[in-house]
């Protein structure tokens, strides 16, 4: 992505008060893939806890709308990614 595109996306996100987090399947332990939490690495567990705290902070303190996109969803262009795209379109068109 060019710097111009990145700046535009940041402005868009700031204007509409949304935060989009793209989570890697391994590092953030996608629950569709990592169902047994007892088998997670220490790094994965730390990331999950940090992600929970971050989410609560964003929602409570910043009042942003919060979206999580998983690597799996993007790679497979599945229904949850399509729904996310529609949610963003609806939000921006208001």
27-42 residue pLDDT tens: 999 999 999 999 999 9
**Strand partners for 58:** none
**Strand partners for 68:** 21
- For the segment 7-25, the average pLDDT, to the nearest whole number, is 76
pTM greater than the 0.85 cutoff: no
Q: How far apart are the first and last CA of the chain?
A: 27
Cα–Cα distance for residue pair 70/68, rounded to 1 Å: 7
Higher model confidence: residue 59 or residue 8? 59
Residues in the chain: 94
Q: Is the pLDDT of residue 77 over 80?
A: no
Cα–Cα distance for residue pair 15/5, rounded to 1 Å: 15
**Strand partners for 65:** 18
């Amino acid at each position: 992505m060019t710097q111009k595109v990145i700046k535009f996306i940041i402005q868009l996100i700031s204007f509409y008060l949304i935060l989009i987090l793209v989570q890697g399947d391994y590092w953030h332990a996608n629950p569709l893939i990592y169902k047994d939490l007892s088998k997670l690495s220490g790094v994965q567990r730390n990331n999950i806890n940090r992600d929970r705290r971050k989410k609560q902070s964003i929602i409570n303190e910043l009042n942003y709308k919060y979206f999580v996109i998983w690597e799996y969803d993007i790679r497979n262009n599945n229904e949850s990614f399509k729904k996310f795209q529609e949610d963003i379109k609806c939000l921006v068109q208001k």
